[in-house]
Each structure stands twice: as structure tokens, then as C-alpha cells.
């Protein structure tokens, strides 16, 4: 009888143990299932990006809140009815992702592949692809042109409707006349310096329209040289898109240097608005930033605007700061920029002569 009782007790223990194990397994499954979203959110919150591909600029993703960096391999998972805005640093794209186009955002933010057309496109960064300017019988190479500096132009368009105008001084010039013409605008103003804020009494420029600036250099009452610049303004729809993106940058409170060199630069350059990018970066320089990336990207943008003289000054500062901070990554990028600067400068000198102000293509 004792043997039977012991056997029954052992069987009961085994059954009880099995029940505990089963309950534990079920409990684990329930917890894992119910906390999977929480777990992914926690992993994302704790992660650190070694290389940042972009930034999530709007709410609406299931895991990444507005202001989160986009790391390699990240995906966007929009909530029902939401559209998530992503700014891509590597290819200057702005993505608008909803449930109809869920995708691997990191792949869409990858650097663009260089096409055959890109290789041979005429730009300020590739002057060798541009045709040589034919000069007429009245052109005088001995007198430099009043080379326009601002508005800064790369893709031919700007955002501001009241741009400041500046140009290089012409040796021997005693005064300058600035002429602006285009849709609803036609004025001339004479000045004795090389800068002109947009005149308060004149109508502002209109979105989607094309304008021309001409700066005439005078010696006494005679014109000794001149320089034109044709540019356009963004369409009103594009302007509204940019304004909304800038508002989102302010709302997520991106640190000033990161906002200027990363997010805002990408937003502006997505529309080739080199003028707005340069003005934003210059504001960080004026604020006393010691971040070498600010100066290096500013130099890059000056090159894109066809201003190698200004670029060299900023590359020099960036190099000094990168060395001081032992920032080898930035130092390498500065060296790449300086190599490009040297090529562009040598090419332009060979084409126009060392005394010319005519750096822009």
C-alpha cells in the first residue's frame, strides 16, 4: 500500500510539473505577442546610428517618432491614414510614405547612381563639360566684369522674393548701376559700393516667374563692363512645400548646427536652392559655430554656385577646425573638396585668364 501511495505521489508531481511548464510557455507566448510592438519601439529608442541616412520629419510612423534619425536598414511603418515625411541626406530626396507605398526608406535614401547624362552635364562643378563662351568684337577682356555673387545660383532658381544683390568690384570703377527686369518688375538704381539690399519701394518678385539682373560698372559717365544674371523663382506650390518642411524642422527642435548642415541643406538642395542653403549656413557661421562640417558644406555650396574664391576661405577654416577636433572623417571630406576646388580654379584660369572675375559658367 505504501508503494502504491509513493507511485501515485510521483505521478502527481510529474503532472503538476508539466502543468507549470505548459502555463509558463503559454504565459511567455502571451507576453511576447503583446509586447512585440513595445519591444521594437524600445530597440529603436536605444539604437545608435553610426551613419545617418536621413531624418523622420513628421509623426505617423508606428515606431519612429518625428525627429528620429533614419539608420541604414530602417523601414517606415505608417499608421492608418498617416503620411510620414522623410528627408534623405544622401540623395537630397524628400519622401512622403503612406500605407499605399510602404517601403524600405533607407534604400530610397541611398546615394543616387551617376548616369551617363550626369557625367557630361554642364555645371559649375564640371566646367569642362560647358561650351566656351564666344566673345564679340566689342568685348574687352582687359576689364573684369562685375561678377555677381548673390543671389547665389546653381540650378537657376531661388526662393526669396526680395533677394539681396552683390558683386565683385571692378578695378577703376567709380560707380555701378543695378538693373532688374521681369514680370511686374523694372527698376534701375545707382550705387557706389558692391552691395544692394532689395529696394523697399519696389514690388517683390513673383513665384514661378523669371527675372534678369544686370550690373553695369561705370568709370565716370562711361560703362566699362557689365555682367548679367538670369534666374527664376520657385512655383507657389513648391514654395508652400518648402515652408511646411521648414516648419516641421522647427517643431521637432533639431539642434541648430544639425538643422543647418543636415536637414535644411537637404530640403533646400532638393530644389537646387543653393541661395537659401548658403544663407542658412552663413547664419551658423555668424553665430560662432565651431563645427567643421558647417564650413565644409558651405564651401561645397559656394563651389556649386560657381564661387571658388569664397569656397577656399571656408575650406581653409573647415580644415583648421577638423584638425583641432581630430575629426578625421571631416578632414577627409575637406581634402576631397580642395581637390575639386583646385581643378575648377585651374580650369577657369586657363579659360578666362587670372585677372577675370568671370568664374561662373
> Per the structure block, which three cell numbers stand in for 185?
518688375
Given a contact cutoff of 8 angstroms between Cβ atoms, the answer to whether 147 and 227 are in contact is yes
Rg of the chain taking only CA atoms, in angstroms: 30
Whole-angstrom Cα distance, residue 183 to residue 187? Answer: 12
pLDDT value of residue 5: 45
pLDDT value of residue 40: 45
Encode the chain (361 residues) as per-residue pLDDT tens digits: 434 344 444 444 444 444 433 333 333 222 223 334 444 454 454 466 788 899 999 999 999 999 999 988 888 889 999 999 999 999 999 999 988 776 666 678 888 888 878 777 888 888 888 876 545 545 555 688 999 999 998 778 999 999 999 999 999 999 999 999 999 899 999 999 999 999 999 999 999 999 999 999 999 999 999 999 999 999 999 999 999 999 999 999 999 999 999 999 999 999 999 999 999 999 999 999 999 999 999 999 999 999 999 999 999 999 999 999 999 999 999 999 999 999 999 988 887 665 555 454 4
Whole-angstrom Cα distance, residue 238 to residue 40? Answer: 36
What is the CA angle 260-102-249, rounded to 5? 20
The overall pTM is greater than 0.75: yes
3-state helix, strand, coil in the chain (%, to 5): 40, 20, 40
pLDDT value of residue 28: 29
Bridge partners of 78, per DSSP, are 61
Bridge partners of 188, per DSSP, are 179
Given a contact cutoff of 8 angstroms between Cβ atoms, the answer to whether 98 and 285 are in contact is no
Whole-angstrom Cα distance, residue 60 to residue 82? Answer: 5
Whole-angstrom Cα distance, residue 33 to residue 6? Answer: 41
What is the CA angle 12-17-20, rounded to 5? 125
Whole-angstrom Cα distance, residue 191 to residue 169? Answer: 12
pLDDT value of residue 121: 82
> Per the structure block, which three cell numbers stand in for 248?
516641421
3-class DSSP state for residue 83? coil
pLDDT value of residue 353: 61
Whole-angstrom Cα distance, residue 241 to residue 85? Answer: 11
Given a contact cutoff of 8 angstroms between Cβ atoms, the answer to whether 274 and 154 are in contact is yes
Amino acid at each position: 500500500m505504501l508503494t502504491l501511495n509513493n507511485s501515485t505521489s510521483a505521478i502527481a508531481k510529474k503532472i503538476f510539473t508539466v502543468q507549470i511548464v505548459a502555463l509558463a510557455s503559454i504565459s511567455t507566448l502571451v507576453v511576447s505577442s503583446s509586447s512585440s510592438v513595445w519591444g521594437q519601439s524600445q530597440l529603436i529608442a536605444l539604437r545608435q546610428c553610426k551613419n545617418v541616412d536621413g531624418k523622420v520629419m513628421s509623426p505617423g510612423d508606428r515606431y519612429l517618432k518625428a525627429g528620429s534619425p533614419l539608420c541604414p536598414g530602417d523601414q517606415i511603418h505608417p499608421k492608418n491614414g498617416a503620411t510620414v515625411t522623410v528627408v534623405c541626406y544622401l540623395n537630397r530626396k524628400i519622401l512622403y510614405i503612406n500605407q499605399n507605398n510602404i517601403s524600405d526608406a533607407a534604400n530610397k535614401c541611398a546615394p543616387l547612381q551617376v548616369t551617363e547624362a550626369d557625367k557630361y552635364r554642364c555645371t559649375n562643378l564640371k566646367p569642362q563639360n560647358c561650351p566656351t563662351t564666344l566673345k564679340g568684337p566689342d568685348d574687352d577682356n582687359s576689364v573684369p566684369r562685375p561678377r555677381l555673387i548673390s543671389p547665389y545660383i546653381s540650378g537657376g532658381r531661388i526662393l526669396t522674393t526680395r533677394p539681396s544683390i552683390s558683386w565683385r568690384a571692378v578695378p577703376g570703377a567709380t560707380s555701378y548701376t543695378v538693373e532688374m527686369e521681369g514680370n511686374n518688375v523694372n527698376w534701375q538704381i545707382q550705387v557706389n559700393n558692391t552691395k544692394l539690399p532689395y529696394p523697399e519701394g519696389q514690388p517683390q518678385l513673383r513665384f514661378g516667374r523669371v527675372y534678369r539682373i544686370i550690373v553695369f560698372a561705370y568709370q565716370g559717365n562711361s560703362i566699362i563692363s557689365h555682367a548679367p544674371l538670369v534666374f527664376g523663382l520657385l512655383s507657389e506650390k513648391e514654395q508652400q512645400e518648402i515652408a511646411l518642411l521648414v516648419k516641421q524642422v522647427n517643431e521637432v527642435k533639431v539642434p541648430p548646427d544639425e538643422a543647418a548642415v543636415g536637414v535644411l541643406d537637404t530640403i533646400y538642395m532638393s530644389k537646387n536652392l543653393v541661395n537659401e542653403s548658403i544663407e542658412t549656413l552663413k547664419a551658423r557661421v555668424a553665430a560662432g559655430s565651431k563645427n567643421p562640417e558647417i564650413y565644409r558644406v558651405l564651401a561645397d555650396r559656394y563651389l556649386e554656385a560657381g564661387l571658388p574664391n569664397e569656397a577656399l576661405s571656408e575650406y581653409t577654416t573647415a580644415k583648421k577646425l577638423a584638425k583641432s577636433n581630430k575629426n578625421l572623417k571631416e578632414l577627409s571630406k575637406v581634402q576631397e573638396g580642395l581637390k575639386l576646388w583646385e581643378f575648377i580654379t585651374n580650369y577657369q584660369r586657363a579659360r578666362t585668364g587670372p585677372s577675370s572675375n568671370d568664374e561662373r559658367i
